[in-house]
Amino acid sequence: MSDDILDNIFENAVKGNSLIKNRKILTIDYIPHKLQFRDEETTTIAQTLSVSLKGARPSNLLLFGKPGTGKTAVVKNVINKFKEKSTELGIEVIVVFINAKIANTAYKVLYEIAEEMNINKIDKKNQVYFTGLSLGEATNRILDFIKKRQLHVIFVIDEIDSLVDKNGDDILYNFTRANEQFQEVGFISLIGISNSLTFKDKLDPRVRSSLSEEEIVFNPYKIDQLQKILSERVKLAFYDDVVTEGTINLCAAIAGKDNGDARKAIDLLRVAAEIAEIDKDTKVHEKYIRLAQHKIEKDTNFEIIKNSTTHTKIVLLAIAKSKNGNTGEVYEIYSSLCKHVDNESLTQRRITQIINELDQLGLISTNIVNQGRYGRSQKIKITVPLSTLKEALFDDHLLSTITTTID
């Protein structure tokens, strides 16, 4: 590629008529101070936390709700305000916010807690090193630090289900039980946030009952609520009259149909605006929302497939190659592909599970078809474009020889 072409791209980016007045407003880190339609949830969380300003231990709290329903945003807003108020009143309550998905392992969660609480700087004896301690020892050090100093602590663990999925609920058990040894001079309260509605089933009954002293469910946003959330963002983020009402309505309708997810609605709008800018358009028309939808879906499907296990990838290939799409044929093709790449095949039962998972992820569709006197059978079809599938599998060197055989 010549330098001229690159020069042009960068120069156009600067010169190009920008539609977005403030890009920050459309990023995931931006949280509006006032979150519409979440007054009740905000009030309940704030009331729960407020007892700590009088020295009492707030109830543990579990927040549930589908992705993009405002859980993280509401909690962060309440915590910020709470920290402001407690500082103003000179009351020390330590609030530690950890995202368990980002921290990734139970040990990392403990390490982050120790860092956030400054334990590693001010209490050498109780340091939680970056690696090296057992989970039990790391937990004990944090608990000892809290006990010695009689601290009042609130741990907020966002995406708590990913912690439990990977490392079980031992840490949560230890934290919820620790209050017994503090003998009411210090305390730990836990706020857990999860987008898995079945999260509680994974917990030991003892942890379940202590962790969910109180529960709040965040319901999906309705289409008209998404419209209002979007309109508010549009006013802050875009120049006047750049985003039409039709565009906002379409965006809300798409995100509303798909789980009432505010993140998805905002992402659609941002990506649509970026496409409109590249197109040098003066408005973000509805057509750009459609294009953004394709782009986002393509990107997510691509990432999901790329990060799947080899067997899941082979199952997808088998479905793509299958002619009649019934489970038996898919399994046969899957087994022969496994042989081809020297991989031992999994049982038919496991493959049926994988097929169900792929169905839930929306990568395939499964329909029961009536075949008259031959009875009923399942018809499995791939729903992502074959080009996306090919592209996502291309990097897997184990599969590169068989990927080229689909068309």
In the complex, the smallest distance separating the C-beta of residue 90 from ligand ATP, rounded to whole angstroms, is: 30
Q: Which long-range contacts (C-beta less than 8 Å, at least 24 apart) are formed by 397-404?
A: 398/310, 398/341, 398/343, 399/310, 399/313, 399/314, 399/317, 399/341, 401/340, 401/341, 402/314, 402/317, 402/337, 402/340, 402/341, 403/317
Pick what 313 binds: Mg ion, ligand ATP, none; C-beta below 5 to 8 Å, kind-dependent. Answer: none
162 is a site residue for Mg ion (CB under 5 A): no
DSSP 388: H
Residues in the chain, how many? Answer: 407
Copy the structure tokens of residue 101: 């998905």
Among Mg ion, ligand ATP, none, what does residue 154 contact (CB within 5–8 Å per kind)? none
Among 48, 72, 293, 301, binds Mg ion (CB under 5 A): 72
Query: Does 68 participate in binding ligand ATP (rule CB under 6 A)?
Result: yes
Which of 67, 219, 291, 383 lies at the binding interface for ligand ATP (CB under 6 A)? Answer: 67
The residue of the chain with the least Cβ separation from ligand ATP equals 70
What does the alpha-carbon distance between residue 133 and residue 137 come to, in Å, rounded to a whole number?
A: 6
d(CA 54, CA 50): 8
Closer by beta carbon to ligand ATP, 140 or else 196: 196
Instruction: Pick out residues in 76-115 that bind ligand ATP (CB under 6 A).
Output: none
Size of the site for Mg ion (CB under 5 A): 1
- Give the Cα separation of 263 and 68 in Å (integer): 5
The CB-of-21 to ligand ATP minimum distance in angstroms stands at: 18
Among residues 19, 20, 25, 38, the one that binds ligand ATP under rule CB under 6 A: 38
Given 266, 315, 393, 402, the residue binding ligand ATP (CB under 6 A): 266
Identify the sign of the CA torsion 33, 36, 40, 45: negative
* Number of other CB atoms surrounding residue 259 within 10 Å: 14
Query: How would you classify the pairing of strands 364-370 and 376-382?
Result: antiparallel
How do beta strands 94-99 and 187-194 pair?
Answer: unpaired
Provide the 8-state DSSP code for 402. Answer: H
- The Cβ of residue 124 has, within 10 Å, a number of other Cβ atoms equal to 8
Question: In 3D, which of 13, 18, 38 has the Cα closest to residue 237?
Answer: 18
CA distance 78 to 28: 18
* Residue window 344-383: x/- pattern of binding to ligand ATP, with contact defined by CB under 6 A: ----------------------------------------
Q: Which of the stretches 42-50, 65-73, 127-135, 384-392 binds ligand ATP when contact is defined by CB under 6 A?
A: 65-73
Among residue numbers 221 through 260, which ones bind ligand ATP (CB under 6 A)? 229
321 binds ligand ATP (CB under 6 A): no
> Nearer Cβ to ligand ATP, position 71 or 141?
71
Is there binding between residue 263 and ligand ATP (CB under 6 A)?
yes
Rounded to whole angstroms, what are the CA distances from 345 to 193, 348, 378? 38, 9, 21
Regarding 28 and contact with ligand ATP (CB under 6 A), the answer is: yes
Distance in Å, CB of 195 to Mg ion, minimum: 7
Q: Are 370 and 301 in contact (CB under 8 A)?
A: no
Residue 297 Cβ, how far from ligand ATP at the closest point, in Å? Answer: 17
Token reading at 225: 């609520």
Nearer to Mg ion, 72 or 308 (CB): 72
Q: How far is the CB of 72 from ligand ATP (least distance, A)?
A: 3
Number of residues that bind ligand ATP (CB under 6 A): 20
Cβ of residue 232: shortest distance to ligand ATP, in angstroms? 7
Alpha-carbon distance 221 to 65, whole Å? 11
Q: Which is nearer to ligand ATP, 68 or 325 (CB)?
A: 68
* Cβ distance to Mg ion smaller for residue 72 or 388: 72
Could you tell me which residues come within 8 angstroms of residue 188 by beta carbon, excluding any fewer than 6 positions away? Answer: 57, 146, 153, 154, 155, 175, 176, 178, 179, 182
Question: What are the structure tokens assigned to 254, written together?
Answer: 């798409």
Q: Which residues bind Mg ion (CB under 5 A)?
A: 72
**Interacting residues toward ligand ATP by CB under 6 A:** 28, 31-32, 35-38, 65, 67-73, 195, 229, 262-263, 266
